[in-house]
């Protein structure tokens, strides 16, 4: 359903063992394997993807189109199109989403807010991923 549009390429990587203190603005795709203390903002004029790996931690607010989390986030998350929570995702903060896919084992300590009106591309969708393995 969400693969109709081609995903933007991941052009930037914050490697494991790295820590950045401060806000980050990015375009296209960003993968985080290290630590961020600051807010992450994807440009709104083109599609964006943010991947937070199992080893990563983010303390701050996150805004992007498609967000995939398998690490730790402390702060609010704003997914304009899709939020995927992998099994080791840990979010402490409110989650705003147009569509949500949550795998067994992921934890959200906060409230869920489906986007409505002009903020969302379509009606909010909640998809629970089954453990097939």
**How does pLDDT run across 65-86, given as a tens digit for each residue?**
999 999 999 999 999 999 999 9
Domain hosting residue 85, numbered range: 13-111
Provide the mean pLDDT of the chain: 89
User: Distance (Å, rounded) from C-alpha 115 to C-alpha 21?
Assistant: 29
| pTM confidence score | 0.85
Q: Assess contact for 107 and 125: CB atoms under 8 A.
A: no
Q: Which DSSP symbol is given to 132?
A: -
Position 116 confidence tier, pLDDT thresholds 50, 70, 90: confident
**Average pLDDT of the segment spanning 80-93:** 97
Give the integer Cα–Cα distance in Å for 94 and 113. 8
For the chain, what is the domain count? Answer: 1
Q: Do the domain assignments include residue 116? A: no
Q: Over pLDDT 90: what percentage of the chain?
A: 76
Instruction: Identify whether 119 is part of a domain.
Output: no
Closest CA relative to residue 31, chosen from 79, 4, 1, 66: 66
Confirm if 16 and 34 have CB atoms less than 8 A apart.
yes
């Amino acid at each position: 359903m969400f693969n109709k549009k081609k995903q933007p390429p991941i052009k930037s990587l914050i490697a494991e063992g790295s820590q950045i203190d401060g806000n980050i603005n990015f375009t296209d795709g960003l993968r985080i394997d290290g630590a961020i203390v600051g807010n992450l903002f994807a440009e709104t004029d083109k599609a964006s993807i943010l991947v937070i790996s199992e080893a990563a931690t983010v303390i701050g607010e996150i805004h992007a189109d498609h967000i995939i989390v398998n690490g730790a986030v402390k702060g609010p998350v704003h997914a304009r199109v899709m939020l995927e929570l992998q099994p080791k995702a840990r979010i402490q903060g409110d989650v705003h989403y147009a569509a949500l896919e949550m795998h067994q084992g992921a934890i959200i300590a906060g409230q869920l807010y489906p986007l409505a009106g002009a903020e969302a591309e379509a009606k909010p969708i909640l998809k629970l991923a089954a453990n097939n393995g």
